[in-house]
Amino acid sequence: MDNASAAADHAATNSAAHGADPQLVTLADIRVAADRIQDLVLRTPIVALPHPDRPSDVLHLKAESLQPTGAFKLRGAYNTISQVLDESRERGIIAQSSGNHARAVAWLAKRLDLRAVIVMPDAAPPTKVAAVRALGAEVVLVPASERDSRTLELAAEHGYVEVPPYDDVRIIAGQGTVGLELIDQLPDVDVVLVPISGGGLISGIATAIKSLRPEVQVIGVEPELAADAAESLREQRRITWDTTLTYRTVADGLRTPAVGVHPWEHIRRYVDDLVTVSEEQILTAVRHIAVEGRLVAEPSGAVATAAWMHDLAPRGATVAAIVSGGSVDPALMARVLAG
């Protein structure tokens, strides 16, 4: 399958789940989401990180890694589930993810007393599978290539309510609450750096920020080895990379082969630029965030900081970066810290 047809296929699969043309989230949607989710979601702090070479130059980290499940995913998942709570209680919920979305959905299901089925790739690390099971969710292991189709089949067969990972306006509105908080906490921000994978996070943040402060630059950051979004923006069309390419990066949360259909519509309207970082730059950022920011960031969560450290993104007087998650393998973190 070539890139274009793979993209079309991916789009078809994803849109089928919610059966609508791409819609744009509004600031009002994000404000409503903020009210809906505030009882279980942490208003994450802004943590100051000095530049390694220019100590008086400080990056403002929005530490989504401190959410109870270790990543921003809780916001979108909760905003979605809370809108379909009655049917979710009756029929159960289903989600597909190998990582932070799985954990967020399982955690919410436990808190809200819902039955949850999580479809995970059979190559997922046993510790991640165990973590989801420990939260009481049922795990279904399938080959990675069948994740989307098996999830839809199971949902159709059993009537489960699907909680999509990123290609959904409810998810985007939930993730956008990060942007609302950021503008409130750091009103004079000039540049906001956001990790990008499926695109739900940056879509929500860019919508919030451009609605409130159009002059603020919103920049997406992804690994060079999984740079489908940067290529898409350059080519002005949504491009899919094969997972044999995207799975090369250590940033295991950023291996999605293409941004979603709904995110793409937000990204092309609201995002100023997309930049890429190398594997070495990502790991250097993980170390710097730990030593000088005292936060545990996973590689995916460190890409925005990496772009700032290496002057790969536009500079500004007040720059913020989203640390999107902190679920890192302890052995990897040990190697990074040992230097």
Active site residue 73: yes
Q: How far is the CB of 291 from its own copies (least distance, A)?
A: 5
Q: Please provide the distance, in angstroms rounded to a whole number, between the alpha carbons at the two ends of the chain.
A: 41
Q: Is 251 in contact with 280 (CB distance < 8 Å)?
A: no
Determine the interface stretch with its own copies among 80-88, 139-147, 283-291, 312-320 (rule: CB under 8 A). Answer: 283-291
Q: How far is the CB of 182 from its own copies (least distance, A)?
A: 15
What is the DSSP secondary structure assignment for residue 124, as one 8-state letter? S
Closer residue to its own copies, CB minimum distance, 56 or 236: 56
The answer to the question of residue 291 lying near its own copies (CB under 8 A) is yes
Determine the interface stretch with its own copies among 18-26, 46-54, 208-216, 274-282 (rule: CB under 8 A). Answer: 46-54
Closer residue to its own copies, CB minimum distance, 214 or 330: 330
The answer to the question of residue 317 lying near its own copies (CB under 8 A) is no
The answer to the question of residue 19 lying near its own copies (CB under 8 A) is no
Find the helix or strand (DSSP H, E) in which 111 lies: helix 100-112
Closer residue to its own copies, CB minimum distance, 104 or 271: 104
Q: Is 17 in contact with 162 (CB distance < 8 Å)?
A: yes
Tokens of 15: 């849109």
- Alpha-carbon span 254 to 235, nearest angstrom: 20
Distances (CA, A) of 114 to 163, 325, 328: 13, 25, 27
The answer to the question of residue 118 lying near its own copies (CB under 8 A) is no
- Alpha-carbon span 171 to 164, nearest angstrom: 8
What is the DSSP secondary structure assignment for residue 287, as one 8-state letter? H
Active site residue 82: no
The answer to the question of residue 45 lying near its own copies (CB under 8 A) is yes
Of 287, 299, 309, 322, the residue at the interface with its own copies (CB under 8 A) is: 287
Q: How far is the CB of 55 from its own copies (least distance, A)?
A: 6
CB within 8 Å of 309: residues ≥ 6 apart: 51, 52, 59, 281, 284, 285, 288
Determine the interface stretch with its own copies among 37-45, 80-88, 169-177, 249-257 (rule: CB under 8 A). Answer: 37-45
3-state secondary structure of 119: strand
From the list 73, 197, 210, 232, the catalytic residue is 73
Per-residue binding string, its own copies, 63-82, x by CB under 8 A, is: x-xx-x-x------------
- Alpha-carbon span 59 to 90, nearest angstrom: 46
Q: Is 247 in contact with 241 (CB distance < 8 Å)?
A: no
Contact residues for its own copies (CB under 8 A)?
42-48, 55, 63, 65-66, 68, 70, 134-135, 287, 290-291, 294-297, 326-327, 330-331, 333-339
Catalytic residue set: 73, 324
